[in-house]
Amino acid sequence: MTIQRLKIGLAGLGRVGKIHANNFLHQTPRAELVAAFTPDPAEFAWGRQNLEPYGVRLYDDYDKMLDHPGLAAVAIGTATSVHAEETMKAIDRDLHVLCEKPLSTDVEVCKAVVQKAKIKPQLKVMCGFSRRFDDSYREVYDKISQGLIGRPSIVRSQTCDKFDPSGFYVAYAAWSGGVFVDMSVHDIDLTLWFFGDDAIPKSISAHGITAVQPELKKYNDYDNAVGIVEFHNGKIAYYYCSRMMPHGQEDTTEVIGTEGKLSVNINPQRNFVNFYHQGGITREVPPNFVGRFGPAFVREANEFTAACLDNTSLPIKLTNAVKAVEIGSYLQEALVTGKQIHFDEIGRRVEKAQL
């Protein structure tokens, strides 16, 4: 019996692109990685060594990759600045698309992607929020759906990266959209999942500091920031993002309900090993997001592939990707201006009267 396989091309062979390459190549049985694109010579060399031996055709031109014979889908893991453009080009070629978050740092551009996708409803177009595919977060969603914590009322969630002294994140800040759009967008997406897609912000405020990378100030960005979103349905989300953790990746979430609480990774650890020694008891922490969410990326690849082949619903609405960036952008604005932003019951921005 011949197994139907999704012929997929990959755009970008950077850190996230390599994850997708290995997942589609080795851990997604119903997918066949047939092509990959990168304009970067070092990434191209990596592709020659790690992809070409498996029959993957390499391209240094994205448009030419889209013309690869039999191509049915594209996974996009390039720089955020070209996510939207590459997604829309793929839609124009009648290809399914899995695009890394965010679709764009510009809300209007995100909306344009959604509108183009609506024109071709037969295509599966998904923005990859990896935490939606994590076993622990799915269990939290299931328990909330079962009513086990009553009405979820407070979300406290954080994305905290290990400190990188190389200066990478300073350069990255020039086009990342800021810490809330780049980092907290994951936590915002979780909030929309747990509180409901129809949750409408009432007020947004944020504060930040540059504790270890003062060079970020030239890009109006911070290495530590806290944001609060109050929703009209009587719920609140609190976000903390940081790029100065000395010990490793620390992404944690709490959902507090009227009858209980759920938490994920509150005491982060790489595995179940504790090292007992004269200095105390030590456990290791994942060095980066791959150590924490590697299996989630694998599930993401497999579920996207299944949706394309079986014509089933995607697990994430594309409109949620727009809303997450929109809230993240407002948080970033509040962070830079120091002003609280207000909205009416249907989500329109309003100026609050000064008493």
Q: What is the pLDDT of residue 212?
A: 96
Residue 55 has a CB neighbour count (10 Å cut-off) of 11
For 276, phi and psi rounded to 5 degrees?
A: -95, 125
Structure confidence at residue 108 (pLDDT): 96
pLDDT in tens, 103-139: 999 999 999 999 999 999 999 999 999 999 999 999 9
Q: Tell me the DSSP string of 115-163.
A: HHHHH-TTS-EEEE-GGGG-HHHHHHHHHHHTTTTSSEEEEEEEEEEEP
Contact between residue 318 and residue 116 where contact means Cβ atoms under 8 Å apart: no
Look at residue 154 and tell me whether its pLDDT is greater than 60. yes
The pLDDT, as a whole number, for residue 351 is 84
Residue 355 has pLDDT above 60, yes or no: no
> Given this model, what pLDDT does residue 300 score?
98
For 238, phi and psi rounded to 5 degrees? -120, 125
> End-to-end alpha-carbon separation of the chain, Å?
74
Give the contacts of 219 (CB within 8 A, at least 6 positions apart). Answer: 170, 173, 174
Q: How many CB atoms lie within 10 A of CB 81?
A: 14
Inform me whether the pLDDT recorded for 91 exceeds 50: yes
73 neighbors 65 (Cβ within 8 angstroms): no
**How far apart are alpha carbons 231 and 242 in whole angstroms?**
24
Model pLDDT for residues 247-306, shown as the tens digit of each residue: 999 999 999 999 999 999 999 999 889 999 999 999 999 999 999 999 999 999 999 999
Domains, the chain = 6-128 (3.40.50.720), 138-294+324-350 (3.30.360.10)
Is the bond preceding 102 in cis, omega lying within 30 degrees of 0?
yes
| pTM of the predicted protein model | 0.94
**What is the structure's pLDDT at 353?**
52
